[in-house]
Amino acid sequence: MYRIDKAVILRQKAEAKVSSEKIVQILEDDILGGTLRPGEKLDEQSLANRFSVSRTPVREAIRQLAANGLIEIRRNMGATVRQLTAGEVVDMFMVLAELEGLAARLCARRMTMAEIDEAKARNDDCLRAAETGDQVAFLEANNAFHDVLLRGTRSAYLATEAARLGRRLAAYRRVITHPRQMMSSHAEHQRIIAAISQGEEDVAQAAMRTHVDVIAGSAADIVLALEANAAPLSATR
């Protein structure tokens, strides 16, 4: 009688052995990048095999991701990638708009000329990407632009929180697909930079808030459409 070696069955890619800290990073990237789809189950043993470690560090990574709201743990029933409703996405964008708005205000107060030039450069990158219709390049340049502003706040806490929420919503920001939208984003960026360089806090804050709200609106439409369609992503297992 032959006993089947379970380890062989479960083993997949089996990345090189990796520390617990990296596991958090990798899983987070997988979730935010869409490799792990909403509703998907995270099996501790499979992940342990994949990373060539025991379940212990995997468990710790899972708990940490749960604390950050990316996954949901139900006692004795495992962890699943969290599925956001359209309403939640809208709520989160509202908060993001507020945080980024505050950031813009602080930038108007504290940014150096060098930093403002840096922001302009990143927005020029946005323009180039928009002109060639390169969505990936645009999103990258867009992220870089926002990062420059967050650094310009001189508030590590605000920068960290806003960046975290921004990353969390990154998937929903991919709604920007048409060159037209990229162009108008670029224009909004320019208005924000102008206000910052003039030190007009109120204007900078308002401009940033509406900029984020515009994106939120498109994102909400997409998510609502997805929800209306048959079974959501959770059925894709």
Partner DNA sequence: ATTTCAGTTTGTGTATACAATAATGGAAAT
Partner DNA sequence: ATTTCCATTATTGTATACACAAACTGAAAT
Q: Which residues bind DNA (CB under 7 A)?
A: 17, 19-20, 41-45, 52-57, 59-60, 73, 75-79
* 229 Cβ contact partners less than 8 Å away, ≥ 6 residues apart: none
Applying CB under 8 A, does 59 fall inside the site for its own copies?
yes
Strand, coil or helix: 88: helix
Of the ranges 44-52, 98-106, 122-130, 215-223, which one interacts with its own copies (CB under 8 A)? Answer: 98-106
Minimum Å gap between C-beta 57 and DNA is 4
**Which residue, 108 or 182, has its beta carbon nearer to its own copies?**
108
Applying CB under 8 A, does 66 fall inside the site for its own copies?
yes
- Angle at CA of residue 125, ends 122 and 131, nearest 5°: 150
Beta bridge partners of 72: 80
- Candidate list 98, 124, 147, 213; residue touching its own copies; CB under 8 A: 98
**Which residue, 59 or 167, has its beta carbon nearer to its own copies?**
59
Site string for its own copies, 4-23 (x = CB under 8 A): -----------------x--
Nearest CA to 110 out of 233, 201, 3, 228 is that of 201
**Which residue, 46 or 218, has its beta carbon nearer to DNA?**
46
Burial class of residue 76 in the structure, from the number of CB atoms within 10 Å of its CB (0-12 exposed, 13-18 middle, 19+ buried): exposed
Distance CA 27, CA 58 (A): 10
Number of helical H runs and strand E runs in the chain: 11, 3
Angle between helices 201-228 and 86-110 (to 10 degrees): 160
Applying CB under 8 A, does 127 fall inside the site for its own copies?
no
Strand, coil or helix: 78: coil
For residues 60 and 98, the answer to whether their CB atoms sit within 8 Å is: no
Minimum Å gap between C-beta 14 and DNA is 12
Of the ranges 95-103, 173-181, 183-191, 212-220, which one interacts with its own copies (CB under 8 A)? Answer: 95-103
Minimum Å gap between C-beta 78 and DNA is 3
Site string for its own copies, 159-188 (x = CB under 8 A): --x---------------------------
Distance CA 5, CA 17 (A): 21
- Candidate list 13, 17, 75, 237; residue touching its own copies; CB under 8 A: 75
How many positions of this chain bind its own copies (CB under 8 A)?
24
